[in-house]
Amino acid sequence: MIRPGPIVLAVGKCFVSEAEYDAARAALSAERMTLMRAADQHGAALCICEADPAVVVIDLSLREGSPLAVADFCNYRRPQTPVILLGAGKLMADGSLFGHVGNAAALISHQTPRRDLLALIAFHAGHRMTLA
């Protein structure tokens, strides 16, 4: 039996366009990882329960629901799952967010190059990514 690779859940607008999402999905797929997405808090909760993601990426500017509620739910249901938070500006730039989100692995800017985001995702999923 072939075991599927890790699942990565992106919550909110983690990618600026559909084309960027498709490119990220293809890059992760080439590394045997599956990229899923949820547009809101409710969808994220369902995916966290059903898909058992290896990494969760949450856009802190999530409009439908609370990004911190998603992170808290992930910490409750999947405490070993690293959460990567995509920050907006100076939000908790002092690092206090790590005190509020128990399984926060990283807080990065939306301006972080997508290639770097994908490498960070792969690292926290336990993969070495060979992006070209």
Residue 81 placed within a domain: yes
**In which domain, by residue range, is 95 found?**
7-124
- What sign does the CA torsion over 34, 31, 22, 115 have? positive
pLDDT band at 16 (very low <50, low <70, confident <90, very high): confident
Task: Tell me the CATH number at 28.
Answer: 3.40.50.2300
Alpha carbon 88 to chain centroid, angstroms: 15
The alpha carbon torsion through 98, 100, 105, 109 (nearest 10 deg) reads -70
Tell me whether residue 50 is in a domain: yes
pLDDT given at position 131: 53
Query: What is the pLDDT, as a whole number, of residue 101?
Result: 77
pLDDT of 26 > 70? The answer is yes
Residue 49 domain-assigned? yes
Tokens 């999530």 belong to which residue?
62
- Identify whether 21 is part of a domain: yes
What is the per-residue pLDDT across 37-55, written as a single tens digit (0 to 9) for each? 999 999 999 999 999 999 9
Per-residue pLDDT tens for 87-123? 865 555 566 666 667 788 888 888 889 899 999 999 9
The model's pTM: 0.88
Provide the number of structural domains found in the chain. 1
